[in-house]
Amino acid sequence: MKKLSFKKKFKEKSKKWLRRQITDIYYIRSKKEGFRSRSSFKLIELNNKFNFLQKKTKVLDLGAAPGGWAQVARKICSEGKIMGIDLLNIKELEGVFFLKCDLQKNDAIRSVEDYFQGKVDVLLSDMAPNTIGHAKADHLRIINLVEVAIDLSNKVLKKEGIFICKIFQGGAQGELQKKMKKNFYNLKYFKPKSSRPESSEAYLIAKKI
């Protein structure tokens, strides 16, 4: 029986990723403009559309690695406070506090409260699971991350505060909206131009009741 060559398969996948990156206009712009990731432009588009980042805004950034969204927030919120949380290590960024921790641990909430000394104005979540290529399963996995972000927002986001999170479009969105309407209003979906056309991702924007 012929053995499968996982090494060859991995190399082809890597080559495809590299080809896509070097021809990606937002990847190229991120390098030219000094952003840590192409996803920085997603937050720029979101803010241009909904205008939630101001000079003194307090921002909590979930799934912050590698720090691209924090860079944008720091640039706009020059007198605000920015905190980023991720399971991964993140290179230091002036004016931003990065914390490596599990959001489902109680010490995460305490750390947020201690840093901001009060509620946050904006909670951002660009968290996404490692996809497996199965649309329904991937959707359910990101729904779980959205629920983690919602639970945290119920504790740390101020009244009328802005909640923004990544979502993969799928069948479970109806149930998610029902849950969110208990604590949020003015729910909207937005897909930035900088989001890859083939991706099912979009961003859910809402205000805290």
Q: Would you call 8 a catalytic residue per the annotation?
A: no
pLDDT digits (tens, 9 = 90+) for 167-192: 887 655 677 888 888 899 999 999 99
In the chain, the percentage of residues whose pLDDT exceeds 70 is 82
pLDDT recorded at residue 96 = 98
Task: Indicate if the pLDDT at residue 92 is higher than 80.
Answer: yes
pLDDT recorded at residue 5 = 46
pLDDT digits (tens, 9 = 90+) for 156-168: 999 999 999 998 8
pLDDT recorded at residue 172 = 56
Task: Indicate if the pLDDT at residue 137 is higher than 80.
Answer: no
Task: Indicate if the pLDDT at residue 154 is higher than 80.
Answer: yes
What's the CA gap between 66 and 10, in Å, rounded?
Answer: 23
Q: Per-residue b/e over 7-44, b at no fewer than 16 CB within 10 Å?
A: eeeeeeeeeeeeeeeeeeebbeebeeeebbbbbbbbbb
Catalytic-role residue among 166, 178, 181, 193: 166
160 SS3 class: strand
pLDDT digits (tens, 9 = 90+) for 2-11: 444 444 454 5
- Distant-in-sequence, close-in-space partners of 39: CB < 8 Å, separation ≥ 6: 68, 69, 126, 194
pLDDT recorded at residue 14 = 54
CATH of 37-208, one of 3.40.250.10, 1.10.940.10, 3.40.50.11750, 3.40.50.150: 3.40.50.150
Q: Which residues pair with 162 in a beta bridge?
A: 122, 207
First vs last C-alpha separation in the chain: 62
pLDDT recorded at residue 78 = 96
Q: Where are the domains of the chain?
A: 1-34, 37-208
pLDDT recorded at residue 6 = 42
pLDDT recorded at residue 17 = 45
What's the CA gap between 191 and 19, in Å, rounded?
Answer: 24
Q: Per-residue b/e over 102-132, b at no fewer than 16 CB within 10 Å?
A: ebeeeebeebbeebbeebbbbbbbbbbeeee
What's the CA gap between 164 and 151, in Å, rounded?
Answer: 13
- Distant-in-sequence, close-in-space partners of 3: CB < 8 Å, separation ≥ 6: none
Task: Indicate if the pLDDT at residue 43 is higher than 50.
Answer: yes
Mean local confidence (pLDDT), 109-114: 93
Mean local confidence (pLDDT), 131-149: 77
In the chain, the percentage of residues whose pLDDT exceeds 90 is 65
